[in-house]
Structure 1
Amino acid sequence: MPLIRIKSLPFAQEARVTETVTTLSQAVSDAAKIPLHHIMITWEYLPAGHFAHHGKVVDCQPEATHPLLVDLIAPNFNTEAQIAAMLELIAHTIAEQVPVEKNNIFINFTPAYSDGVYDEGHVVEWDL
């Protein structure tokens, strides 16, 4: 854990999504000192015309409007500073890898609770 879910419209130009999720996995692993096998990242494309922002619908992912939508789910034992650092790291890494401005990324943090996650065949309890 953490789980990072990214949604965007399809890109009109080439976007290195595979490289982005790999790079982001390694960046989170390094920064949070979490083994790679505990980090999960998905990237889904919204169908063209299925995302309105400021009342406008577009078919492809713009660089400066229709923000990438990111959900970060991570254990609730993280401090506010650690959460803020993860949010910044995610935004920075994505913006470096794909044609989207850093200020066009929306990230929501959702805490995961001890005994509230099922992983690797059992309910997980945080060892603190």
Structure 2
Amino acid sequence: MPLIRIKSLPFTQEVPIPQVLNSLSQAVSAATDIEPHHIMLTWEYLAPGHYVHSGKAVHHQPINTHPLIIDLIAPSFNTEQQIASMLELIANTLAEQVPTAKNNIFINFTPAYSDGVYDSGQVVEWDD
């Protein structure tokens, strides 16, 4: 685990989302020493017109408004520095691979707690 969930409006040009997700998964794995089979990523497109930012609804993902909305869920034992590093890595990787500015990315970290995650057929426990 971590779980990274990304939401955006559809892009005006073709963006190879599976390749972007694979690249992000590899980058997170390399930077954190987490095996790729423990990293989960999703990308969901919001319906055109269903995202309002600064009072304006749009139909396609702008480069400088309507930030990509990203949720990062990772174990609570990560240090503040590890979390900050993951946030920066996600932002940098996405800004390099999709048509959006780095300052147009919003990422929220949510800690996952021992005994609060069900994975691989069981409730997962770890030492904090």
Establish whether TM, by shorter chain, passes 0.5.
Answer: yes
Paired residue secondary structure (2:42): strand
Q: Which amino acid aligns with 1:59?
A: H
**1:112 counterpart = 2:112:** yes
Q: Name the count of aligned residue pairs.
A: 128
Please report how far the alpha carbon of residue 17 of structure 1 lies from its aligned counterpart in structure 2 after TM superposition: 1.0
Please report how far the alpha carbon of residue 126 of structure 1 lies from its aligned counterpart in structure 2 after TM superposition: 1.2
Gap regions ≥5 residues in structure 2: none
Paired residue secondary structure (1:89): helix
Q: Answer yes or no: is the 8 Å Cα contact 1:16–1:97 preserved in 2.
A: no
What percentage of aligned pairs have identical amino acids?
Answer: 70
Please report how far the alpha carbon of residue 127 of structure 1 lies from its aligned counterpart in structure 2 after TM superposition: 4.8
Q: Give a deviation string over 1:34-71, Cα, whole Å, max 9, x none.
A: 00000000000000000000000000000000000000
Tell me the residue number matched to 2:35. Answer: 35
TM-score, scaled to structure 2: 0.98
Q: Would you identify which runs of 4 or more consecutive aligned residues in structure 1 move more than 3 Å?
A: none
TM-score, scaled to structure 1: 0.98
Gap regions ≥5 residues in structure 1: none
* CA RMSD of superposed structures (Å): 0.8
**1:83 counterpart = 2:63:** no
Tell me the residue number matched to 2:49. Answer: 49
Higher mean alpha-carbon deviation, 38-47 vs 13-22, is at 13-22
Distance 1:10 1:28 in 2: 24
